[in-house]
């Protein structure tokens, strides 16, 4: 017996959509269908072959918290109409951290089973209490990064799930064949957050500063090859400073056929949840500059994953980034473990969604026989 899972993905970064793609890919392997609702068209969703429906969103589109950076107010009658057409009785609704208002309300009216994925947020230290207050129709919360936890609080079932890592479709290198080292990847995630321009400026200035320092120390020219991923939602301007030691390529997006971290000598990144999991998987040396977010706390995620990372956490200061870059290039890449330290969170979460639903269908057929 198969069914369908419907989710809403939003964000100026790619965290929500990439995590949901990983889970829905695992659901597809189990024979289930998927539909992703989103506040903007996501090329990443298309590249993975999933259907998506863009619905109008504004600052009041989420339950229990404001949705920032969405532009002017919208007519929510259109959002309700789109959700009414998209959602059907019998669907399972999987909310990723945020809960979209029209999707939640329609699921309540249809009696759809609803599940919330939770990762740490400053505004939600007790997810069960938050659900009981704001979204009581959600009966289960899946806690990322807590695989051994299983309890009930405030009438809400809490299920621990291993971390979910963004899925890639290939391992192609974004650098041309024959590119020498060091290959430096500067990655701003989705690039839509307000701190992205300053981060990119600081990272590029740091590379320029370190290149000048290396040349001044008598090491000769330092022919680094820079790849700057601004992110598909970046709307700022990238200023490439003069004196960078090598070619610089700036692009907003690389498809899931490319594995940037696997082929980089070193990376300079923000520290979002998904980035942290990818850095841990790749073992690439990384200078991580925690971003400033409304509710998320990137420093918390970095501290939790510190033992699995080959990373130095610094402030968004070019000198600090340059010094960390120097130390990481000297120490090199840390060997990856022979086997993954924990099971695939996406597959575990997919099974948590599917098994209760399929058991309910079996009981219904048995009772009707």
Q: What DSSP line would sit under 337-359, residue for residue?
A: PSS-SS--HHHHHHHHHHHHHHH
**Are 207 and 63 in a shared domain?**
no
**Are 15 and 159 in a shared domain?**
yes
Q: Is residue 173 part of a domain?
A: no
Cβ atoms 301, 343 nearer than 8 A: no
Looking at the DSSP assignment, which residues form a beta bridge with residue 22?
Answer: none
**Are 318 and 357 in a shared domain?**
no
State the total domains in the chain.
2
**Are 119 and 148 in a shared domain?**
yes
**Are 189 and 144 in a shared domain?**
no
**Are 106 and 245 in a shared domain?**
no
pLDDT per residue rounded down to tens, the chain (369 residues): 479 999 999 878 888 999 999 999 999 999 999 999 999 999 999 999 999 999 999 999 999 988 877 778 998 999 999 999 999 999 999 999 999 999 999 999 999 999 999 998 888 999 999 999 999 999 999 999 999 899 999 999 999 999 998 888 999 999 999 998 899 999 998 888 889 999 999 999 999 988 887 666 555 456 789 999 999 999 999 999 988 878 999 999 999 999 999 999 999 999 888 888 888 888 899 999 998 877 778 888 888 888 888 899 999 999 999 999 988 988 876 665 554 454 589 999 999 999 876 555 545 455 554
- Kindly report the CATH number assigned to the domain that includes residue 265: 3.40.50.2000
| Eight-class DSSP state of 90 | T
**Are 360 and 301 in a shared domain?**
no
pLDDT at 272: 87
List the one residue out of 363, 360, 348 whose CA is nearest residue 27. 348
Q: Is residue 285 part of a domain?
A: yes
Q: Is residue 95 part of a domain?
A: yes
Q: How far is CA 61 from the centre of its chain?
A: 20
User: Cβ-count burial of 338 within 10 angstroms (0-12 exposed, 13-18 middle, 19+ buried)?
Assistant: exposed
Query: How far is residue 86's CA from residue 98's CA, in Å, rounded to a whole number?
Result: 19
Element (DSSP H or E) covering residue 170: none
Nearby residues of 329 by Cβ (< 8 Å), 6 or more positions away: 182, 265, 266, 285
Q: Is residue 336 part of a domain?
A: no
**Are 326 and 350 in a shared domain?**
no
Q: Which domain, by its residues, includes 294?
A: 183-331
**Are 196 and 319 in a shared domain?**
yes
Element (DSSP H or E) covering residue 9: strand 4-9
pLDDT at 339: 46
- In order of 9, 52, 53, 78, the CA distances from 82 in angstroms are 15, 12, 8, 6
Looking at the DSSP assignment, which residues form a beta bridge with residue 268?
Answer: 186, 287
pLDDT at 358: 58
**Are 156 and 18 in a shared domain?**
yes
Q: Is residue 169 part of a domain?
A: no
């Amino acid at each position: 017996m198969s069914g369908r899972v419907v989710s809403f993905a939003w964000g100026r970064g790619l965290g929500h959509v990439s995590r949901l793609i990983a889970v829905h890919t695992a659901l597809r392997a189990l024979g289930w269908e998927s539909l992703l609702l989103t506040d903007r068209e996501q090329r990443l969703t298309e590249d993975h072959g999933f259907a998506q429906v863009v619905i109008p969103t504004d600052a009041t589109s989420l339950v229990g918290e404001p949705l920032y950076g969405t532009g002017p107010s919208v007519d929510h009658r259109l959002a309700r109409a789109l959700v009414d057409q998209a959602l059907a009785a019998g669907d399972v609704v999987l909310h990723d951290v945020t809960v979209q208002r029209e999707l939640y309300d329609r699921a309540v009216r249809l009696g759809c089973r609803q599940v919330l994925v939770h990762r740490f947020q400053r505004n939600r230290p007790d997810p069960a209490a938050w659900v009981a207050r704001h979204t009581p129709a959600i009966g289960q919360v899946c806690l990322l990064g807590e695989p051994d936890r299983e309890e009930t609080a405030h009438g809400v079932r809490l299920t621990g799930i291993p971390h979910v890592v963004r899925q890639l479709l290939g391992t192609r290198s974004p650098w041309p064949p024959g590119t020498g080292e060091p290959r430096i990847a500067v990655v701003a995630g989705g690039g839509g957050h307000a701190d992205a321009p300053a981060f990119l400026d600081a990272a590029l200035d740091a590379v320029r500063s370190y290149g000048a320092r290396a040349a001044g120390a008598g090491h000769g020219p330092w022919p680094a090859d820079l790849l700057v991923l601004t992110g598909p939602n970046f709307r700022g301007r990238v200023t490439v400073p003069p004196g960078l030691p090598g070619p610089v390529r700036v692009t907003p997006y690389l498809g899931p056929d490319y594995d940037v971290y696997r082929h980089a000598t070193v990376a300079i990144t923000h520290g979002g949840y998904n980035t942290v999991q990818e850095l841990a998987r790749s073992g690439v040396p990384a200078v991580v500059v925690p971003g400033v977010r409304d509710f998320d706390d990137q420093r918390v995620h970095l501290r939790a994953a510190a033992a699995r990372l080959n990373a130095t956490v610094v402030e968004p200061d070019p000198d600090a980034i340059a010094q960390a870059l120097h130390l990481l290039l000297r120490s090199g890449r840390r060997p990856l473990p022979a086997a993954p330290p924990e099971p695939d969170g996406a597959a575990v979460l997919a099974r948590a969604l599917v098994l209760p639903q399929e058991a309910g269908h079996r009981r219904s057929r048995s009772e009707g026989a």
